[in-house]
Amino acid sequence: MENLDLKKTSNYKFWKNKKVLVTGHTGFKGAWLVIWLNKMGAKVTGIGLKPKTNSNLYNLCKLNEICKSYIFDIRDKKKFLSHFKMIKPEIVFHLAAQSIVKKSYIDPFYTASTNILGTLNLLENIRLTNCTKVAIMVTTDKVYLNSNKKKKFKETDHLGGFDLYSGSKASSEIIIESYKKSFFDKKKIAISSARAGNVIGGGDWSEYRLIPDIIQSSFNKKNLLIRNPNSVRPWQHVLDTLAGYIVLAKFTWKNFKYSGAYNFAPITNKPISVKEVLRISSNFIKVNNIHFKKSNKFYETTYLNLNSLKTLKLLKFKTKWSMKKSIEKTIKWYFYQKNNPKKSLNLCLKNIEDYEKKID
């Protein structure tokens, strides 16, 4: 089976001079995606919010120097449409979102309006401009109606959410599918949703995330508080996730009829718990005193896993890096970056080059 990986011979030729818009380019995944697309020769424009802290890839890698960058809220319908008409993107990657479950309990209105209205505004822009051929709408693995059954969700399973974040993303999925059927299928505009979650990698300093918490605990010599040690998630490296998005965009550019919803997750029968991530991490970093404290303040799914056979079958794509290698790459990134902050961009590029090599 041919693997549609990111070899320079084919993918670099495809992406060269493509006009690409990345929403959420100031965020963790968005920044990595801008770096990769720029490396492949795409003409990248980003729209996102101003980063809240100095510890972020957008500033550290000076991404405003390698892509056109616009800082504003995509909920501003008039401004978003005006910029969209000016950019005229052929391909869109929509990553702008409020992506932290805990924050959805703190500010539910902001979470819902960003995730739903932001998506709606983008779809309207695509509908009104007729310049976009492919759009990858990034949602989450938490869009499924999950009652903690130990199953792998597939793309045809029911959508829903017991928390506001999941509900907002499931709502976005319904809107995406409605626009697809009502407007875009007729015009052969390939609109797809990409469902993945629990992405790890260097350059993530977000609150309430396991690997960043481990890094901060180690660097600052503070205790590590773990809420739900037995929670299971489909963990994967940011480059594995973005590689899937990139392959999906290229595939649906050439094969419009296959646009739709896709799960991106490791193909493995072994679920990975928070405890297992901690155990693997301890091989590469000193994890300080760990305190397990179950949180009852807000609901979080205990067991979440995805079936990614559709992605394997149609896209011929699967993740390259094991969990051990993903954690090792992530932790080494933080150690190197801490001592060489001005080389953050080069470090990201080196990780991408390592990923593009043959699977080891």
- For the chain, the helix, strand and coil percentages under 3-state DSSP, each to the nearest 5: 50, 15, 35
Q: What is the C-alpha separation between 345 and 348, in angstroms, rounded?
A: 5
Q: Is residue 76 part of a domain?
A: yes
N-terminal to C-terminal alpha carbon distance within the chain: 18
**CATH code, 319:** 3.40.50.720
> Domains in the chain: how many in total?
1
> Phi/psi zone of residue 328: left (φ > 0), alpha (ψ -120 to 50 degrees), beta?
alpha
Distant-in-sequence, close-in-space partners of 200: CB < 8 Å, separation ≥ 6: 210, 211, 235, 236, 237, 238, 326, 327, 330
pLDDT for 40 equals 96
285: nearest Cα among 190, 220, 206, 226: 220
Residue 3, domain member (yes or no):
no
Q: What is the pLDDT along the chain (360 residues), one digit of tens a residue?
A: 233 445 555 788 999 999 999 999 999 999 999 999 999 999 999 999 999 888 899 999 999 999 999 999 999 999 999 999 999 999 999 999 998 888 999 999 999 999 999 999 999 999 999 999 999 999 999 999 987 678 899 999 999 988 999 999 999 999 999 999 999 999 999 999 999 989 999 999 988 889 999 999 999 888 898 888 889 999 999 999 999 999 999 999 999 999 999 999 998 878 799 999 999 999 999 887 888 876 666 677 888 999 999 999 999 999 999 999 999 999 999 999 999 999 999 999 999 999 998 543
Domain presence at residue 1: no
Burial readout 22-36 (b: 16 or more C-beta within 10 A, e: otherwise): bbbbbbbbbbbbbbb
Look up residue 184 and give its amino acid: F
The predicted pLDDT at position 297 comes to 65
Q: Is the pTM of this model over 0.85?
A: yes
In a domain, 84, yes or no: yes
Look at residues 51, 147, 167, 48 and name the one whose alpha carbon lies nearest to residue 101: 167
Sign of CA dihedral 30, 34, 35, 36: positive
What integer pLDDT is reported at residue 149 of this predicted model? 75
SS3 category, 163: coil
Q: Which residues constitute the domain of residue 186?
A: 8-356
Token match 């990409």: residue?
A: 194
pLDDT, tens digit, for every residue of 166-179? 999 999 999 999 99
- Is residue 229 situated within a structural domain? yes
